[in-house]
Amino acid sequence: MPKATTQEIKKEEVIAEAETKGAAPKVPKKKVISGILSIEATFNNTKVLFADKQGNTLFWSSAGSLGFRGAKKGTPFAAGKVGDVIGNKAATLGVKDADVVVLGVGSGREPAVRAFMAHGIEITSIADATPVPHNGPKPKKPRRV
């Protein structure tokens, strides 16, 4: 049997090292049974934040942080991807149920919730906390051309 070259040995070591790194799943630092999912859906972006019942942020993500650029950040598809990422993280943490608070009028409100629910997490309540103006400042005069 011929001797293995140094290149073959290095390749085997790299492959073995990569397998050991990927094989060990991440163990969460603390177990969280229930939490609060906050979704801020604007016309330009969708931001999702997951917190425990006391309001301490555990993790967050947005369409921009996932690599969507420009007008694509405000799409329902991007919001679904953000909800999927947060749902995956919450499932690894052991979350069973969550309350949802939705802010904004963007198109990513519902897809983010649906993608989050797809990971087997029960939604106990959905609250709409979109700020609604009640009169506010005086509007600008019409422009004369």
The domains found in the chain, sorted by start residue, are 34-128 (3.30.420.80)
Q: What is the pTM of this model?
A: 0.73
Of 112, 91, 92, 90, the closest CA to residue 101 belongs to 112
pLDDT band at 13 (very low <50, low <70, confident <90, very high): low
pLDDT at 24 exceeding the cut of 50? no
pLDDT at 48 exceeding the cut of 50? yes
Q: What is the pLDDT of residue 22?
A: 46
pLDDT band at 31 (very low <50, low <70, confident <90, very high): confident
C-alpha dihedral sign at 42, 85, 78, 102: negative
